[in-house]
Amino acid sequence: MPDGLDLDAYFRRIGYDGPRQPTLATLAAIHARHVAAIPFENLDPLLGRPVLLDLPALQAKLVGQRRGGYCFEQNLLLQAVLDALGFRVTGLAARVRWRAPPERPLGPRTHMLLQVQLPEGPYIADVGFGARLLDAPLRLEGELEQETPGARYRITAASVGVFALSTWLPSGWQLMYLFDLSPQVQADYEMGSWFTSTHPLMWFRKSLIVERVTPQARYTLTNLRLVEQQRDELVRERTIADARELERVLDEVFGVTAPAGAEAVFAKLSESA
């Protein structure tokens, strides 16, 4: 088991008490419960706070506190859990293309995902893509549309050795990111996370996204706009009016306590509006 990992504490955090054998069913169950219990959020980069990626720090924040995190934090924690369970898992990296026009040049590899080798074949697991969290692992097979309880996805060949992950929206297929199968190491993620969380032009420094996906609905807070959806059908949305309401939404909808208080987050978002 990776040093510093409290597997029982993690399972209590996500509400999982099922089998611990390294099977597809186990992976799918953990994946679904993780995104329902540990929300995606970028409060630390938004507030100029450091993002720590060592396992003790990840466990303290995502398991021990009422916090979530972004892709490097979420997927590094999941990787440690899967390693401890005996899965064959490899860390990968991706270039984000979400909402990017086709003519925009490719950016750096600022997203982390996992490849998991199973008897059924290779799968990708990703509990850290904010704005379109995956609620299930996906088979790494080109041109195959895959339905999850909360959305529809497909993986296609973008070029030789490069895969594209897309999701279906009411407007059509939307490209999420491009990735290959080159294994990454901790230093790669440290560099990517540092760039993502400190570069003044990066989205996470200026805007807020908080998201969780439960079996019932997808909840997304983008800056001060809260949206609840069921398989892309809008259930309700509203704009957060003040810091008190923001604190209540973070607490009741996402189970998050903001560092430095909701007032600091609301002030930061008001400055950027």
**8 an active-site residue?**
no
Given 34, 126, 188, 199, the catalytic residue = 126
Given 71, 180, 232, 251, the catalytic residue = 71
**31 an active-site residue?**
no
Q: Are 2 and 83 in contact (CB under 8 A)?
A: yes
Given 31, 34, 111, 135, the catalytic residue = 111
Q: In what order do the strands lie in the sheet with 109-118?
A: 138-139, 121-125, 109-118, 88-96, 172-179, 162-169, 152-159, 144-147
Of residues 45, 20, 12, 27, the one with CA closest to residue 199: 45
H or E stretch at 125: strand 121-125
Those residues with Cβ within 8 angstroms of residue 60's Cβ, 6 or more apart along the chain or in another chain: none
Q: Is 63 exposed, middle or buried (0-12, 13-18, 19+ CB in 10 A)?
A: buried
**71 an active-site residue?**
yes
Which residues are the active-site residues? 71, 111, 126
